[in-house]
Amino acid sequence: MDKKVTIGERMSRKGIVFSWIYLSVFGLLTAVGFFNIFHLYTNLPLINNYIFSFFIYILTMLFLTPIIGSYETLEFTMQSVNYYHAKGFLNQLVEVFRILKNKKAIPNTSMKANQILKVNLSYITQFAGWAQKGYRLKMTFLMHDGSVFTIFPTSINQIEKGDYEQALQLLEQQHIEIVDKYNLRSVLSTNSYQFQEYIESLEKEKIK
């Protein structure tokens, strides 16, 4: 059986149903809010208020549904490394319907293992709300033909599961060199907090 390690989680049909139930609460609240506005500030017949509010609900759900299809997944196998992602309103909406139809996902980028020369591990700095500073893992794939592919995995919580280290070991089994200038692998099997703390210590060393 072909060994496979997946970084990131894909949405399932069951997950979509639960997400729709969750999002429908926001849709209903929006519809009720507009119904009250129509009822208080217009002279429209009551049935029209219901119809307009229903359309508001449908529009709200159409606007929120693509959020369900937003994902990023990196899949490592003995034969290849596959990158899946759905970005942009239309792509995310199409992805939701693909999952519902149970059609096979097609990777946006697929790299044959025997075409990968080495993988370089590094990191980037990012800022969240209220100027909160954090760090993200950066994986750069250098191919035998000289091309380069870079990804910044978002599922950093999978460090605790050891998935990153398993993926790197899988690459090494295919004789792919892992370049780890910052010794990040030492914390890729711990947890996200230690990962952040370790890189913070690296940044402080640079200032000295």
pLDDT score at 129:
59
Give the tokens for residue 78.
């003995």
Separation CA 149–CA 48 (nearest Å): 54
The total of other beta-carbon atoms located within 10 Å of residue 99's CB is 21
Same domain, 94 and 131: no
| Domain total of the chain | 2
pLDDT tens digits in sequence order for the chain, 208 residues long: 578 898 887 777 888 888 888 888 888 999 899 888 888 888 888 888 889 999 999 888 888 887 776 678 889 999 999 998 887 778 888 888 888 888 888 888 899 999 999 999 999 988 765 667 889 899 999 999 999 999 888 776 678 888 999 999 999 999 999 999 999 999 988 888 899 999 999 988 877 6
Range of the domain at 124: 112-208
Same domain, 89 and 134: no
Angle at 188 between CA 187 and CA 190, to 5 degrees: 65
Separation CA 165–CA 149 (nearest Å): 19
Strands 148-151 and 177-179: unpaired
Q: Contact, 13 vs 102, CB < 8 A? A: yes
Same domain, 100 and 126: no
Q: Contact, 55 vs 36, CB < 8 A? A: no
Length of the chain: 208
Same domain, 25 and 74: yes
